[in-house]
Amino acid sequence: MPDSRHPAFKFGFIWAALLIALFGGFAMGAHVAYIVGFGYPIGKSYYALIQTHGHLQLIGWTGLFIIGVSLYFFPRMSHNPVGVGKQNAILGLLSVGLVLRFVVHNITPYVILTAWFKPLNWVIFLSGIMEWLGVLVYIIVLLRSMTAGSAGARLKLETIRPLLLMTFAGWILYTTVQVTLLFDMVRTGELVLDSSWNALSVTAFIYLVLLPVCFAVSIRTFPLYLRLPVVRWSVPAFAGIYFISVLLQLGWFLQPSVYAGIILKNILILWFIWKLDLFSGLKRLRTFFRKEPEIVHRETAREKYPDYDEWGRFEWLIRSAFLWLAVGAILELVSGISFVFNLAIYINSDAVRHLVVLGFVTLLIFGMAPRMIPGFIHVKKIAYPGLVTGTFWLGNTAVVFRVFPILVRGKIPWEPVLGAMYGWSGVIGMAAILLLAVNLYRTARNK
Ligand code: HEM
């Protein structure tokens, strides 16, 4: 018999994600961007910093957020709780692993010529093992929760199941490649992971974990949160073709496959955004029945939305997130087509990557967190709806500052301005994270 007694939302995942983002991932990104943007010399820790920044952002910031929300959201849909002990184990393994990686990979560049280097490199490997185990437990418990229980309960997850299964494949692929690369790094006495395999695992994580989970959550929640039409197309068919496109892209040893994958994948992403109807959907309002009691601080629902402004302007963040995803998809599509037809149009791949991970995924989290998380802890209003607007402006400024300079570098003559924008991008990103953290903290205190 499935157990219907679900444990309370584990806020620890959100705190860990915010702390690792603020003091780890974003702080390291800000540091590197400042050095590069203002022309300071690059130190010997540069590549270790970049790799650790990328890893902390992917697994610590977006990953912990996704794990925390999914362990609350999906077991409730299938009526199969995931126990507190298992959630604690996942949180413990991942946070300790991430903190070890953060601290020790920041030290090794400075002790490379000493006897400390090898043992510390082993500690980094150990951190990878801890993360790998944490992810394994996560996948096992979520898979069990999704597959056990009554057929009726499982049916609720039917539409998005292929997207979720794809994310599991992505988690396993990323963490397994990372552990293998860490072992190789220790074995060969290197300071950093092999860059091409690392880049491949990063791409796998972004397109097999981050995008599918964002798609799944959008499909399930936007009809409710934004009054958008429910999906009337085949999500499994979409997921299947999308999965093939990403596999083609990851087949990096076969050049034609890579570009076929890139072109197909980006067409699918654009098609998905189009079908969500995010930008024209307000014309097609669906009838909405409000189930929760009304909120007192405003008398009437917001025009065209089913809420009373109690979550702030979260939809601005969601719309801008998808706008950045569309820009990233168009740019990567252009670069794929340019390669196939020898057009010599160069698009900076790091700009595309940050349009997706910062512009899309991070802004989507900024928008979804104030809308979703208060409900998880039974609070009917975000503490400061105005701060959501602040997050919108800071978040979007961080995206523009981080991406625009590297897209136009060498094409327009404003080097000092572009450098300064790039240099401040990370600090602005940190300020956005701080606003979200303060807002969620106060909301949790208001419980
Ligand atoms: C404003 C905020 C951010 C700043 C200032 C920043 C800065 C940087 C910099 C300077 C690099 C090195 C680029 C290069 O190789 O030329 C980098 C790489 C990277 N960043 Fe960010 N970043 C930010 C946000 C993010 C976010 C939110 C994520 C993911 C959620 C992310 C994931 C990555 C990844 C995966 C890499 C590649 C790492 C590797 O090569 O192993 N970044 N970032």
Substitution site in 18, 198, 358 for ligand 1 pocket (most atoms within 8 Å of beta carbon) = 358
CA–centroid distance, 50 to ligand 1, in Å, is 7
CA–centroid distance, 61 to ligand 1, in Å, is 12
232 lies in some domain: no
Q: Are residues 15 and 160 in the same domain?
A: yes
CA–centroid distance, 199 to ligand 1, in Å, is 12
Give the pLDDT score at 300: 66
Give the pLDDT score at 170: 97
Burial 173-194 (b: 16+ CB within 10 A, else e): bbbebbbbbbeebbeeeebbbb
Contact 371, 225 (CB under 8 A): yes
Q: Are residues 6 and 148 in the same domain?
A: yes
407 lies in some domain: yes
What is the residue range of 148's domain? Answer: 1-180
Q: Are residues 23 and 164 in the same domain?
A: yes
Substitution site in 23, 57, 59 for ligand 1 pocket (most atoms within 8 Å of beta carbon) = 57
CA–centroid distance, 322 to ligand 1, in Å, is 19
224 lies in some domain: no
Give the pLDDT score at 253: 58
Q: Are residues 176 and 314 in the same domain?
A: no
255 lies in some domain: no
188 lies in some domain: no
Residue type, position 397, single letter: T
pTM (2 decimals)? Answer: 0.93
- Residue 219 and residue 230: Cα distance in Å, rounded? 7
CA–centroid distance, 53 to ligand 1, in Å, is 6
Q: Are residues 176 and 317 in the same domain?
A: no
Ligand 1 atom closest to Cα of residue 198: 41
**What three-state secondary structure class fits 384?**
coil
Ligand 1 atom closest to Cα of residue 33: 10
Give the pLDDT score at 288: 45
Least Cα distance to 165 among 92, 74, 230 occurs for: 74
Each residue's pLDDT tens digit in the chain (447 positions)?
444 578 889 999 999 999 999 999 999 999 999 999 999 988 888 999 999 999 999 999 999 999 999 999 888 888 888 889 999 999 999 999 999 999 999 999 999 999 999 999 999 999 999 999 999 999 999 999 888 767 776 777 788 899 999 999 999 999 999 999 999 999 999 999 999 999 999 999 999 999 999 999 999 898 888 888 788 889 999 999 999 999 999 986 566 789 999 999 999 999 999 999 888 754 444 444 444 555 555 566 676 676 767 778 999 999 999 999 999 999 999 999 999 898 988 899 999 999 999 999 999 999 999 999 999 998 888 999 999 999 999 999 999 999 999 999 888 887 889 999 999 999 999 999 999 999 999 999 887
Count structural domains, the chain. Answer: 2
Give the pLDDT score at 287: 43
Least Cα distance to 315 among 225, 387, 437 occurs for: 225
CA–centroid distance, 51 to ligand 1, in Å, is 8
Looking at 180, 208, 228, the residue that finishes a domain is 180
Give the pLDDT score at 43: 83
Give the pLDDT score at 100: 98
Q: Are residues 171 and 22 in the same domain?
A: yes
Please report where in the chains the tokens 């974990």 appear, as a residue.
209
Looking at 157, 180, 203, the residue that finishes a domain is 180
Chain segment 245-258, per-residue pLDDT in tens: 999 999 865 667 89
| Count of residues in the chain | 447
Looking at 180, 210, 226, the residue that finishes a domain is 180
225 lies in some domain: no
DSSP code for 282 = G
CA torsion angle 87 57 206 148 (round to 10): 0
231 lies in some domain: no
269 lies in some domain: no
- Residue 101 and residue 121: Cα distance in Å, rounded? 10
